[in-house]
Amino acid sequence: MTWADFWALIATLNGEATQANCRHLAAELSRRSVSDIMGFAERHAEALYRLDQEKFGCLPVVDLTARFGSPFPQSADVFLYARCAVVAAGQAVWESVFFDAAKFAPYTSSEHDGEWLLYVPDMAYELATGEEWNRSTRYCFESFSNRDGWPHLRD
């Protein structure tokens, strides 16, 4: 799947990875070939992997504070869901955060939880084949897996 095809599918989310939007995207994707579903999963994993960087992961959660008003750090899960929300917001937003990390910050808010986007490839595969998918992708999208994005975590 090309990046253009991936972003065109993401555009059907209208900027938000709600459950309803993601189910609609999964249904749309399931009408394509299994190869396209796999290609979508690959592009999605790569988009998340590229966002897996310290400059984004160390931003505090926008709408929370810790004791005594100090910034509340993102957990690994919050960071993953924030990255999903950035992808769901579309290509222009995704590209813009690389030039200005502050543009990532609003997506750490609970208002922008993108968790449902994680399940789209699996839902699409199951709709298309009737089987569960035990998938793996070239890029790991889990938080802190991009060693280049977290230089101080390198061995």
pLDDT band at 151 (very low <50, low <70, confident <90, very high): confident
All residues at 6 or more sequence positions from 113 whose CB lies less than 8 Å from its CB, including other chains: 17, 81, 85
Ramachandran area for residue 98 (φ above 0: left; ψ -120 to 50: alpha; else beta): alpha
Q: Give 131's DSSP letter.
A: S
- Which residue in 81, 90, 82 sits closest to 13, CA to CA? 90
- Which residue in 74, 12, 9 sits closest to 47, CA to CA? 9
Burial class of residue 107, CB neighbours in 10 A (0-12, 13-18, 19+): buried
pLDDT digits (tens, 9 = 90+) for 91-118: 999 999 999 999 999 999 877 889 999 9
Q: Is residue 72 over pLDDT 70?
A: no
> For the chain, how big is the Rg over CA atoms in Å?
16
Domain residue ranges of the chain, discontinuous segments joined by +: 3-145
Confirm if 147 and 153 have CB atoms less than 8 A apart: yes
pLDDT digits (tens, 9 = 90+) for 40-69: 999 999 999 999 998 988 787 776 566 666
Distance CA 60, CA 89 (A): 20
CB atoms within 10 A of CB 101: 14
